[in-house]
Amino acid sequence: MKLKRTYYTLLFLVFPFLSIAQSDYYYYQGEKVYLIPNYQYVNIVTANAFDENSISASGVQEFSSHPEKEIRNGEYKKIAKLEFTTTPSTQTIYEQKIAELKSITNIEGVYPHYVYNGNIIGTNNFFAVKLNQASDITLLQNVALQKNVDIIRQRTYLPLWYILSTNTSTTENSVELSAYFYETGLFDTVEPAFTGAFTIDPIEENNSSSSAQLELCYDEGNFDTFQWNLFNNEVYPLADINVCGAWELGVFGQGVTVAVVDTGIGDEIVDLPASYPSNVIASSGLPFSENFYYNGTGLGWHGTAVASIIGAKHNGIGMGGIAPDAEMLHVANELLPTFNQVEIADGVDEAVNRQAGVFNMSFANYGFPSSYLEDALDNALNNGRQGLGSVLVAASGNDPNSTVQQPANYSRVLAVGGTTTQGSYNDFNYGNELDISAPSTSIVGLSVDGSVGNGFVGTSFASPHVAGVAALMISANT
């Protein structure tokens, strides 16, 4: 191995302009992952001074830009997903469109979209490199210099990983660069930071009149009547999770931290008390307070509902959660079309560092193979809870087919499907990778303003049932 590494180092010194043939692929566990070009979309990365009106004549539909999550050259850049009004019919026309966009003032990079497993994913200026060993940083610096890319930062808790970025002088995109860096033979893993790979469920109202008799074990201001999913001894008594027995034993999740990897929650919600950041800055990626880690400003409507199912307080107000005494850690992500797997993984890393015992991930898509994200989940499973390991829970997805979506399809994650008020399966993603199902219809949850809603539907709201029960189990055995 030492001889091989020395050979490649000399190769770069002797042939600084050596180029390895590139195509639309990257490597996962040593195998090529082929990507089909999609000509309908591009992502643009811009300077902060970019004027969105300057692009109005470029044949793209209306769009909005968002701050990136990494600092480069002392400032944050902005990123936006663009859709062409008329989809280019050939690769040549697509490349011409990209060249036109690159010529616009303050656009610093234009990045293609691809199709993988029928799912449209985008790229940006970032890609991730994992070293074989810490001393390989010199090799990384040499190749980065040769390819004119910037080393942005080292991954905090898994330090063999580095985040790199293209710049205005880089001639190749992040997919081409990922393939090139891997094919040098110098690095363990290299992958692009793909965008648009994960989505969250819309909130649906189904106006169900399903009822429960939770007054047998708690009273939450009339809304307990509608929480059939927790306890229901009426028409379909086997459709609920029968949580009262745990509560009657005094088990409410105390001593357990649950990380809700989602969109954050609304401010000052009585049922979800938290120490709020005093100054949330978009794209900061910094831990501002005990209960929050922000990868962005967050779109709290989804995260609020999910978190409330797990941990809403039993205070006689609003509704009650499954594990009301569990400590909640909100890993707030925007989950926008420009969001990527690096940001999710970094939030998981931070939650492991904060000793989260349970992770709930109520987002899904068909995704793409990602060692960067898998390393974060492996780290949580193996090293969470001070080495005891964390429980990882994720929604299977809401499509009527037999394919469990990512990240629930990872073997170290509990994949959660959905059931109805009658206890039958909902027509959501299922199949051999599904581990368990939980209530996913007519679910009571909190809205972003703290009010109680009845009608949340989807595996996004099934997953927190399993996370809540996991918190109870850990609490009972601690």
The residues assigned a catalytic role are 262, 302, 460
Q: Which helix (H) or strand (E) holds 144?
A: helix 137-147
Rounded CA gap, 190 and 130, in Å? 6
126 phi, psi to nearest 5 deg = -100, 150
Three-class secondary structure of residue 260 per DSSP: strand
Three-class secondary structure of residue 225 per DSSP: helix
Rounded CA gap, 426 and 383, in Å? 34
- Residue 20 neighbours by CB under 8 Å, 6+ apart: 179, 180, 183, 184
Pull the structure tokens for residue 279.
């100054």
Cα→Cα distances 328→108, 147, 261, 323, 331, Å? 39, 43, 11, 10, 10
Q: Which helix (H) or strand (E) holds 164?
A: strand 161-165
Chain position carrying tokens 């990257």: 26
344: closest CA among 404, 260, 277? 260
Rounded CA gap, 406 and 366, in Å? 6
